[in-house]
């Protein structure tokens, strides 16, 4: 039979990890971070997970990494931060003047 104190401690660590992952996912889903900053946030979450559960890199890579990857691909700006430019409209056309 497992030690109730050890079980409670592990459950507490699991709860802290779940909350940390939820916060990171929420921030990533806002879609306002450049890709490099978002990846750094995920790396910090990974470090935190390994602080709470040392030696469980494979579990992180199997369970949480795909979740973070999907969110990064869907919500984060490209690494360059570039947006397709809008074509410039000549000033006389923008003011309703004669078209060229």
What confidence tens digit (pLDDT) does each residue in 76-85 have? 877 655 555 5
Rounded CA separation 48/57 (Å): 11
What confidence tens digit (pLDDT) does each residue in 40-91 have? 999 999 999 999 999 999 999 999 999 999 999 999 877 655 555 566 667 6
- Asked whether the beta carbons of 40 and 81 are under 8 A apart, the reply is no
With a CB cutoff of 8 Å and minimum separation 6, the contacts of 51 are none
Rounded CA separation 21/72 (Å): 13
């Amino acid at each position: 039979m497992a030690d109730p104190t050890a079980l409670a401690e592990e459950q507490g660590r699991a709860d802290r990890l779940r909350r940390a992952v939820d916060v990171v996912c929420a921030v990533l889903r806002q879609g306002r971070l450049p890709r490099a900053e978002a990846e750094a946030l995920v790396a910090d979450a990974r470090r935190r997970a390994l602080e709470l559960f040392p030696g469980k890199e494979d579990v992180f890579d199997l369970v949480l990494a795909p979740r973070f990857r999907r969110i990064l691909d869907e919500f984060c700006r490209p690494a360059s931060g570039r947006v397709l430019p809008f074509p410039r409209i000549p000033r006389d056309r923008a003011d309703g003047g004669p078209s060229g």
